Structure 1
């Protein structure tokens, strides 16, 4: 069963409460999403470490329930 964009956003927000999150369903199938996540928690972290924080927030659903997630991360601009 595919994941809903609201569920993805809620899981990310639980792990990164200050995050600004934008999610788009790329194929209209609930299986292929693009997400932009901006959080102060990413400050000083490599892009790989930032992505790992997001993937950890999804609690193992990547590659299973959530087939594909094109991810863009960053820190807030002061």
Structure 2
């Protein structure tokens, strides 16, 4: 399973998001620390995530990030070097 698919599956199952955007931003980080290099197929080392979920209600920004990091601990221990997170409740996102 590709990294983006694994991220999508885990976040969808745990958070039931009303919006989930997963952007592989690895190409912008070629040559930076943590990038797997030119010979690595598909990148999948740097991601931008937008997650809108009612599961975030009542949680601080830091608490929301901790939830996501915990859900993706396997990916963060392996191929994923960096995550950029935008988290919101449906009300905060205007949905």
Q: What is the alpha-carbon distance in structure 2 between the residues aligned to residue 68 and residue 9 of structure 1?
A: 16
The answer for the alignment partner of 1:21 in structure 2 is 20
- Gapped regions of structure 2 (runs ≥ 5): 28-42
Query: Alignment length, in residue pairs?
Result: 76
Q: What is the alpha-carbon distance in structure 2 between the residues aligned to residue 43 and residue 19 of structure 1?
A: 13
Which structure's CA Rg is the greater one?
Answer: 2
Query: How far is 1:36 from its partner?
Result: 0.5
Following superposition, which runs of at least 4 residues in structure 1 exceed 4 angstroms of deviation? Answer: none
- Residue deviations 1:1-27, cap 9 Å, x none? xx5212111111121124421010112
- Which of residues 45, 56, 67 is equivalent to 2:81? 67
CA RMSD in angstroms comes to 1.7
| Structure richer in helix, relative to its length | 2
